[in-house]
Amino acid sequence: MPLHFNTLESRSLSSGLAQRTLKNLDFIKNAGDAEDVHLVTQVVNSLLSLLVFPVEKEREFFKGFESIAFKNPSDLEGTKAQLIEHLPVPSVQITSFARCRNLSQFFKKVRNAISHKHLELSGVPDTRMLGEVTITLKDRRQGDPPSAFDWEVSLTAKDLEELSRFVAHKIIDARL
C-alpha cells in the first residue's frame, strides 16, 4: 500500500529524501508491468537516498546502531541469525564478514558496496520480480587490491527493498 504523508519534509533533510524515496518506490512498484519501469533498479537506486547520502550526512544517526553488536562475526551462521533477528533480511547469505562488529558497521559496508559499485545482480535475467533477483554486496579495506574483498553478503532484491524501507522509516521517525 502506498504511503501518504500529510506534509513532506524538506528534500534537503534526510527525512524528506526518505519520504520521497518511499513514494517513488511505491509508485514504481504499483506501476508493475503497465509501464516500462524496472523495480529492481529502483530498489538499488533507493539505497543511494537511504544509505549512501545519510551515512555521509547523518553519522550520528547510524552510530545509534553500534549498540547492536555481533557476538562473533567470524561465526557466519550466528551472525546471519543476528542480522535476521534485527533486520528484515531472511534471505541473507554471508560469504565473508571481516571488520564488521556491529549493525552500524554493517550499514557502512552496505553503503560502501553501493557507492563504489561493488554489487552484482544475479538470478532470472531481466525479471521484475524482486524475489527472483539476488544482489551480492562486497567491501574491502581501502588500499587493498580491487579483488581483495573481505566482506560479502547476498540477499534478494525483495529483502533489499525491505531493508530500504526499514532504514527509511528509522530516518523519518528520527526526523533528520
Contact 107, 65 (CB under 8 A): yes
CA pair distance 126, 160, nearest whole angstrom:
17
pLDDT per residue over 81-136, tens digit each?
999 999 999 999 999 999 999 999 999 899 889 888 899 989 888 787 899 999 99
pLDDT per residue over 18-37, tens digit each?
888 888 888 888 887 667 77
